[in-house]
Structure 1
Amino acid sequence: MQNLDPSTIIFAIVAIFVVFKLRSVLGTRNGPPQDRAPMRGPGDFRSPPNGGNVVPLGAAARGFARPDQAAPSDRWNGFAQAGSPLAAGLDAVAAADPDFTPDRFLGGARAAYDMIVSAFAAGDVATLRRLLADEVLANFDKAIRTRLAAGQTLTTTLVSIDAADIVDARMTGPLASGAGRFAAKLASVTHDASGAVVDGAANEVADHLDVWTFTRDTNSRDPNWRLTATQTVH
C-alpha cells in the first residue's frame, strides 16, 4: 500500500468537514422576509399556505380543474346549485383569481363583518379605512362625525353570526365581487353626553339580516377585499 503524506490526510479531513457543514446549512430554510408567507388580515379572503392545523382549500382541495381539465359541474357543492347564475359567477371569479374559494371568502367576510361593526361603534376610522371602499368609508365616517358632534357614544356587541352564505358573485372587468348574507345577533345601545340611553339597550339582543358586498381588483397585487355595498334585509 502506498504511503500517504500526512498533509494529504489533513486536507482530506478538512474537506469532509466543510462538505458536512455546507449540507447542514443548505438543508435549512432561512429565506428573506419576501420569500415567507405574508400575514393575512380579515380582508384577505384567499386560501392560506398549508401549514400547522390549516386545512388546504386550494385547487386540489375544492375540486378546481387543472389547465388541461374541465371544471367539475359540482365544484361549488354546498355553495351554489350547478348551472345556476351564482355558480357561473363563482366560476368567473375563480377563473380571474385562482386562489379564490367560497369557504375562505366567507371566513374572511365573517371576520370583516365583526371588525367593521366593532370599528364603527368605536369610531375607529383607521381600521375602517383598511376594510372599506372609499364611498362606503365616506358614509361611515359621516355617521361617526354626526354621532360625535351630538356627544353620543355607541356600544355594539356582536353576540353571534348564526348563518353566512354567498348570494352573489360576479366579475365586472377586472373587479371580482362577492356578496355575503349574514344572519347575526347584535346588542347596541347609544348614550348621550350625560350617559343617558337615547337608543337601544345593552341587554337587548336584536336579530339582523344583512347583505354585504366585497370587491377586489384581480389585476392588483393587493389581495384584500373591501366592503363596497351594504343592505339591511330587515
Structure 2
Amino acid sequence: MRLVIAECEVDYVGRLTAHLPSARRLLLIKADGSVLVHSDGGSYKPLNWMSPPCWLTEEPAAAGSTAEGADPGALWVVTNKAGEQLRIRITEIEHDSSHQLGVDPGLVKDGVEAHLQELLAEHVETLGIGFTLVRREYMTAIGPVDLLCRDPAGAAVAVEIKRRGEIDGVEQLTRYLDLLNRDPLLSPVSGVFAAQQIKPQARTLATDRGIRCVTLDYDALRGADDTAFRLF
C-alpha cells in the first residue's frame, strides 16, 4: 500500500462529474489497484475513489493548471475499464511511503460465528437425527471446514457455519467439498450450509449444488428457549 499526503485537487470524469478543490488530503493506492482520496474528517468513507480494475499513470501537469503561485506538479490519472477517470492534480507532496501489508486474514467477529460453531458441535443432532461429530476445524489444503460430521448412514458431511449466509459462503463450502471428495477415505462428502440468516440467492445457489441449508437459532442452541430449528 502506498500512502501519500499531498496538497491536491481531484476531478472525477465519467458518467458523472465531481470536483474537489485544492486541499491537503490522504491518497491511498492499494495493492489491488484501487485509489482512494480521504480527508481528515466528516466520514470514514473516501471523498472519491476508483475501484479495480483500474490503472494509475503519472503525467506532467500543464503549466498554470495548479493553484495560483504554485509550481506545476504531477497529474495522476486513474482510468478504469469503462474509460472513466479520476484525475488528481498534485501541488505539493508532504509524505510518500509504501508498505507491504501481506495477506489479510479477514474480519472475524468474536463471539458470533465461533460460538455458533462451538454450540452446533455440542448439539450436532440439530443437523438431523443420527448425526455425529467427527471433528471441528477439519483442515483442508485451502483452510479448515467448520465441522466434519457423519450422517445416520455413516457418510461424511462438511458443515460451513456463518452468521449471515451469503453466496460467498456457499462458494467457500463448494471449494471444500471439491477437495474433500477427492479423498477416497471420505468420499462421497455432502454439504450443509448453516447460518442464522440465509439470503435467498445463497439458498438458491446451495440448492442448485446439492447443498442442504439449515437456519440456526442462536438462543435455542444456547438453551434459552425451546424453539425448534428449521431444516430446509
TM-score (norm 2): 0.24
Between the two structures, name the one with larger relative contact order (CA 8 Å, sep ≥ 6).
Answer: 1
- TM-score, with structure 1 as normaliser: 0.24
| The structure with more radius of gyration | 1
Give the number of the structure whose residues are more often strand, by fraction: 2
